[in-house]
Chain A
Amino acid sequence: MMSLETILGLAAMLFVIGIFGVLTKKNIIAVFMSLELMFNSVNLTFVGLSYFVMPVNLVTDLSTAMTGHVFAIFVIAVAAAEVAVGLGIVFALYRVNGSIELSSDIGRAT
C-alpha cells in the first residue's frame, strides 16, 4: 500500500487542495496557509521520490541518495522565510492603514 504511486497521489491531492485554497480564500492568512500546504506536498513528493527512485549516479556517488532530503530541507527554510516576509508585509500594511477597510485601489487593466 505504501508505494510510490500512493505517496505521489497523496502529495498531488494535498497540492491541489492548496491551489484550491489559494484560489478561493479571501483572507490573506488563509492564502499563506494554503501556500504552506503546497510546499509541504512538494516536500512529501521529494521525500517519496528520494525513497523509491534510483538516483542516477548512486553507484559512483552514494550521497546522491540524499538529494531529495537536502532539497526538502531547503524548501522548508525558504518557505519559512517566505511566510515571515509575507506576514511582515501584512503587519506593515496593518500599521500603515490602521483598521481602515481596504479596497483594491490599484487600477484596472483599462
Chain B
Amino acid sequence: MSSLTIWLVFLAPLTSFVIISLIVRPFFSKHQWISPYLLIAGLSVSLVVSVMLFLDTLYTGGPGYNSAYQWIKINDAAIIDLGTYIDPVSSTILLVVVVVSLLVQIYSMGYMHGDIGYSRYFATMALFTSSMIGLVISSNIVQLYAFWELVGLSSYLLIGFWTERPAAAAAAKKAFIITRIGDVGFLIGILFLINHSFALPLSANVNVLHIPDICSLAGTMSAMIVTIITLGILSGAMGKSAQFPFHTWLPDAMEGPTPVSALVHSATMVAAGVFLLVRLFPFISASDTTMLIIAGVGAFTAVFAATMGLVVNDIKRVLAYSSISQLAYMFAAIGLGAFGPAIFHLITHAFFKALLFLCSGSVNHATHTFDMREMGGLRKYMPWTYGLMLVSSLSLIGLPPLSGFWSKDEIMLSAWEKMLHGSVFEITIFALLAIGVVLTAFYTWRMISLTFHGEYRGNDVGDGHGDHSIHESPRVMIAPMALLGVATVLAGFLTNPPVNVGPIHKHWLNDFISSSIVFHHGHHAAEFSVLVAILSTVLGLIGLGIAVYYYKLSQNGKKEPLESMKGFYGLIYNKYYLDDLYENIIVRNILQKRIVNIIAFVDKYVVDGLGLFLGFAVKNVGHVLGLFQNGNVQFYTFVISLGGVIGLIILLMYTPGLGG
C-alpha cells in the first residue's frame, strides 16, 4: 500500500475541513446543508482506506512505517519526521475512530439541524477527526504530541461551541488548561528523550523520537530516567483521559453539543491517553514504579469517579463520570500489564458509550433538557431510544452476552490472576475494581430508571403541547444509533471470543494486538474463567438490584436514596470539593492573589508609599517638571542598578577561579 494511500485516511477529513471552513462557510452560508455531506464523504474515504489498512495489517502484517517529510532535525539520533506507523494497535484504533466518527456525523445532521453554526460545527468536527486520525497513525512522538495538542484545541472549540453560553466558554477553558497541565509532563518526557539522544553513541542508529525505537530504548537508559520519562508521558495520558486528579474537566465538558460528547469526550479523544500508554507499552512497562502508579490511579479513579456519578442529576454528567470510571479500568489493566484487554475495552467502550451519549442526545432532542429530574416515563414516547439505551446500559454494567461484559471480564480476569499470587496492593486493586462494578451498575440503572421509567415529570406536557413535543428522534439520528447498537451487542463476543467460534479464532483480537513487533513478547490472554465471569456478573446484578429496589420505591425522584448518608452525600455531590480546591484556592487565592501580591509588593507598597509621602512635601513645586516626584521611574532605575549589581556579584561568585 503506497504511502499516499495511507495519508489519505488523514487527508480526506482534513480536506473536508478546509473546504467547509474556507469555502462553504464564508461564501455559501445559504447552503450550509452541504457541510455534513462533505465531511461524510471525506470520512467514507477514510473508512475505505482504514478497512483496507486493517485487513492488510491483519493478513500481511501491514505497511508498518512510512516517512513522508522531515519536520525538524535536532541531531542524528533525534529526528522529527512526519510519518505513519500502521501496526495492529493503530490500525484497530483507526478503524474504531473512523467508524464512530462517521456514525456520529450522520447523527449530527439530525441533532444539529437548524443550529446557527451548522457549518462551523462540521468544520470543527472535521478538524477534530483528522487530528485524531493523525494522532493514531503518527510514527513520531513529537508528531503525536502535535496532534495531541490539536485534538485538545478542537475539543476546546467544540466544548465552547455555543458561544452564547458562559458555562460552555468556562468549561472549554477549563478543559484546555487542565489537559495542558498534564501535557507539561508529556513535553518534559519528550525533552528528556531528546536529552538522552545526545548521550547515545553515533553507532546506535536509533531515533529516540521514533515510536518503535522508543519501545526498545529502555535498556539504554538508567532506571531513574526511564521512570521520569514514563511518569511524564503518564501525566499527559492522565490529563487527556481525565484520570484523577485531572478528571475535573470532563464533566464540565458536557456543555458541548451531545454528539461531541459522544465522539470526543467518550469514544476517541479521552481514550487517546490509553492509546498512548499502549503505544509505548514496552517502554512504560520498563519502569515498575510507573506501572504501579498506573494501576493505582486506574483502580482508584474507577471507584472515585463512579461515586460522583451516583448523585448527579444531569444525564450527560452521569455518563461523563462513567467514562472516567471506564477509562480508569483501562488504565488499571495497563498497569497490570494487560494491554490487550485494555484495547479491547477501549473498543467496546467506544461503541457502547458513544451509543449512550447519542441516546441521551436523543432524549434531549425530545425533552430539551439534560436534567433527569425533569424526565421520567419516556419509554412510552421513545421506544427505539429506550431499547438502545437499555442495551448499551446493560453493556456498560457488563452483563453477558453484551460487549461490555467480555471486555470488562478480561480486565477483571487479569486483576484476578495478579491477585492470586500478589500482595496487598494487587488485592486492593481487584477489590476496587469489583466495587466499581457494583457502583457502575447502580448509577446506570438509576439513570435508566429516572429517565425512562415512572411518570413524566417535565414541563413540556404540562404546558399544553402535550405529546406534540415529546417524540421519537428522526431516522437520521436513530439509524446510526441502531448501527452502534448492533456493534454494542456483537463487538464483544465476535472480536475477542474466549473460545473458537467457527472461523473466528479465540482471542484473535488480543493475539492480533500483541503481534505488533514493538511488543517483543506479546501479552497472552488469560484463559476464560467461569468463576470470574460469574463473579463480575453477580457484582453487576447486585448493583442493579439495589438500584431497582430503591428507584422502584421512589420512582418519581422525590428523594435520592443516598441523601440519607449526609456527610458522604455532601462530599460526592460537591465532587469532593476538588473544583473549589483548583479554582478558588490554587488559582484565585494562591496564584492570582498571593504570588501576584508578592511580585507587586515592591510596586504597591514601596513606590506607592514613596509617592504618597512625597505628595505632601512637594505640592508647591507643582506642575510638569515635578513629573518624577512619585519616584516611579527612579524606582525602575534603582531596580535596574540593583539587579546589575546582584548580577555582577553572581558572576563574581560563580565564575570558576574567582572564588566560587
Direct touching of A and B (C-beta under 8 Å): yes
Which residues of chain A have a CB within 8 Å of any CB of chain B? 19, 22-29, 31, 90, 93-94, 97, 99-104, 108-110
Contact A22 B637 (CB under 8 A): yes
Partner of A27 from the list B608, B614, B628 (CB cut-off 8 Å) is B628
Partner of B600 from the list A25, A29, A103, A110 (CB cut-off 8 Å) is A110
Question: B631 contacts which chain A residues (CB < 8 A)?
Answer: 26
Contact A102 B626 (CB under 8 A): yes
Shortest CB-to-CB span from B435 to chain A, Å, is 49
Partner of B624 from the list A26, A97, A108 (CB cut-off 8 Å) is A97
Chain B interface size, as a band, is 20 to 34
Contact B623 A104 (CB under 8 A): no
- A24 and B625 CA atoms in complex are apart in Å by 14
Let me know if B618 is at the binding interface, CB within 8 A. Answer: yes
Question: B627 contacts which chain A residues (CB < 8 A)?
Answer: 28, 93, 102
Question: A28 contacts which chain B residues (CB < 8 A)?
Answer: 624-625, 627-628
A29 — nearest CB in chain B belongs to which residue? B625
Question: B623 contacts which chain A residues (CB < 8 A)?
Answer: 99-102
Contact B624 A102 (CB under 8 A): yes
Residues of chain B in range 618-656 having any CB-CB distance to chain A below 8 Å = 618, 621-634, 637-638, 641
Question: B641 contacts which chain A residues (CB < 8 A)?
Answer: 19, 23
Question: B597 contacts which chain A residues (CB < 8 A)?
Answer: 110
Contact A23 B638 (CB under 8 A): yes
Contact A109 B604 (CB under 8 A): yes
Let me know if B611 is at the binding interface, CB within 8 A. Answer: yes
By secondary structure, the B interface counts as: helix
- A31 and B599 CA atoms in complex are apart in Å by 27
Let me know if B583 is at the binding interface, CB within 8 A. Answer: no
Let me know if B603 is at the binding interface, CB within 8 A. Answer: yes
Shortest CB-to-CB span from B612 to chain A, Å, is 11
Let me know if B581 is at the binding interface, CB within 8 A. Answer: no
A110 — nearest CB in chain B belongs to which residue? B600
Let me know if B586 is at the binding interface, CB within 8 A. Answer: no
- A23 and B635 CA atoms in complex are apart in Å by 7
Shortest CB-to-CB span from A19 to chain B, Å, is 6
Question: A24 contacts which chain B residues (CB < 8 A)?
Answer: 634
Question: B596 contacts which chain A residues (CB < 8 A)?
Answer: 110
Residue contacts A-B, CB under 8 angstroms, 21 given:
A19-B637, A23-B641, A24-B634, A25-B634, A26-B631, A27-B626, A29-B625, A31-B633, A90-B624, A93-B627, A94-B624, A97-B624, A99-B623, A101-B623, A102-B623, A102-B627, A103-B630, A104-B611, A108-B604, A110-B596, A110-B600
Chain A CB within 10 Å — which of B597, B600, B624 has the most? B624
Contact A22 B634 (CB under 8 A): yes
3 closest A-B pairs by beta carbon, nearest first, are: A109-B603, A26-B629, A110-B600
Query: A23-B641, A26-B614, A109-B600 in contact; A101/B632 too (CB < 8 A)?
Result: no
- A28 and B603 CA atoms in complex are apart in Å by 21
Residues of chain B in range 585-603 having any CB-CB distance to chain A below 8 Å = 596-597, 599-600, 603
Question: B608 contacts which chain A residues (CB < 8 A)?
Answer: 108
- A19 and B624 CA atoms in complex are apart in Å by 22
17 further interface pairs, Cβ-Cβ under 8 Å (given A27-B626, A100-B623): A19-B641, A22-B634, A23-B637, A25-B628, A25-B634, A26-B631, A28-B624, A29-B625, A101-B622, A102-B623, A102-B626, A103-B630, A104-B632, A108-B604, A109-B600, A110-B603, A110-B604
Contact B626 A101 (CB under 8 A): yes
Contact A26 B632 (CB under 8 A): no
- A110 and B621 CA atoms in complex are apart in Å by 29
Contact A26 B604 (CB under 8 A): no
Contact B603 A108 (CB under 8 A): yes
Partner of A23 from the list B604, B611, B624, B634 (CB cut-off 8 Å) is B634
Contact A26 B600 (CB under 8 A): no
Shortest CB-to-CB span from A82 to chain B, Å, is 15
Residues of chain B in range 226-260 having any CB-CB distance to chain A below 8 Å = none
Contact A108 B629 (CB under 8 A): no
Contact A93 B634 (CB under 8 A): no
- A26 and B597 CA atoms in complex are apart in Å by 27
Question: A90 contacts which chain B residues (CB < 8 A)?
Answer: 624-625
Question: B638 contacts which chain A residues (CB < 8 A)?
Answer: 23
Contact A26 B626 (CB under 8 A): yes
- A9 and B625 CA atoms in complex are apart in Å by 33
Chain A CB within 10 Å — which of B600, B604, B627 has the most? B627
